[in-house]
A = this chain, B = another copy of it.
Amino acid sequence: MTAPFQHVAIIGLGLIGSSVARALRACLPQVRVTGYDTDTDSRTAARALGFCHDVNETAAGAVVDADLVIFAVPVGRMAQAAAAIAPALSPGCVISDVGSSKADVAAALSAALPGYPIVPAHPVAGTENSGPEAGFATLFAGRWCILTPLPETPADATARVDALWTALGARIEVMDAAHHDLVLAVTSHLPHLIAYTIVGTASELEEVTESEVIKYSAGGFRDFTRIAASDPVMWRDVFLTNRDAVLTMLQRFNEDLTALQAAIRRGDGALLEDWFTRTRAIRRSIIAEGQDDPEPDFGRRH
């Protein structure tokens, strides 16, 4: 396969950045991969793990001669990260990222790097773990990667980023940033907010001890703790940068929760049973679409 890029620089070597590097080395071994992380320990770990040809001591140094730069930093740090590399960028270098909110990121990258072709991207994949050690090459296999090119982004740049993610095993969808932010508010941001909330609630009750919560978590609670263990800084920034869409979806959720609460209060079993029956079908569709495993109980060992 002809690689769509010769030299990819990755700024931010955490779970996602290091997984992109590993996937590039596995799927497109002819591509040079350089990297940088603001955290000294992460740079040291990245060098030891060897998923980049070179881990540079500066962000500017990492992007020299690159024809694609991918920002894999918390979305609130995109502007700062882009400013740091601007002086060292080669002409025509394509700019992309892996952030979970897109309108805010597109604005930040455009402002910091005027004139460069910008192709914001969001691979819808991840785990609850963080850091360079947590990444792996197959993270994106079979997962969707959403591209949200700007109106002024050259079609050729979008096509090359599409080709890159396709080579890493992802399935590509293109949409505008505003729609992306609404879709992800419901499929990702609201679930994380709810999970963070309930795990916090459960850990601070007077009547039930934290030890009891932990012991009896197999009744359902433990499923929420996985995503509530996700990176705090990354998620802080997601909620701050996609505020309006998150608040809109949260309003809908609250309306539904109030309706179910009222049904419980008045003993309306028919409403509850009907609601709970409808939600079963969604899981079957997610499994059929290949976005989750069919094994019961997430394939947990028994």
> Which residues of A line the B interface, CB within 8 A?
76, 100, 124-129, 134, 136, 138-139, 141, 143-144, 146, 173, 182-184, 186-203, 205, 207-208, 210, 212-230, 232-233, 235-237, 239-240, 243, 246-247, 249-250, 252-254, 256-257, 260-261, 264-265, 267, 269, 272-273, 275-280, 282-286, 289, 291-293, 296-302
Contact = CB atoms under 8 A, between A and B. Distances in A.
A221 to B, nearest CB: 4
A243 B217 contact: no
Contacts of A293: 298, 300-301
Contacts of A218: 124-126, 143-144, 291-292
Contacts of A202: 186-187, 282
Contacts of A203: 278-279, 282
Nearest to A191: B220
Nearest to A171: B215
Nearest 6 A-B pairs (CB), nearest first? Answer: A188-B219, A232-B276, A191-B220, A298-B298, A127-B296, A225-B283
B188 A291 contact: no
A214 B183 contact: no
Contacts of A289: 214-215
Contacts of A221: 186-188, 191
A272 B200 contact: no
A128 B296 CA distance: 7
Given A210-B282, A277-B232, A302 B136 contact: yes
A138 B146 CA distance: 41
7 contacts: A126-B297, A138-B302, A195-B279, A201-B249, A215-B291, A229-B279, A250-B257
A16 to B, nearest CB: 12
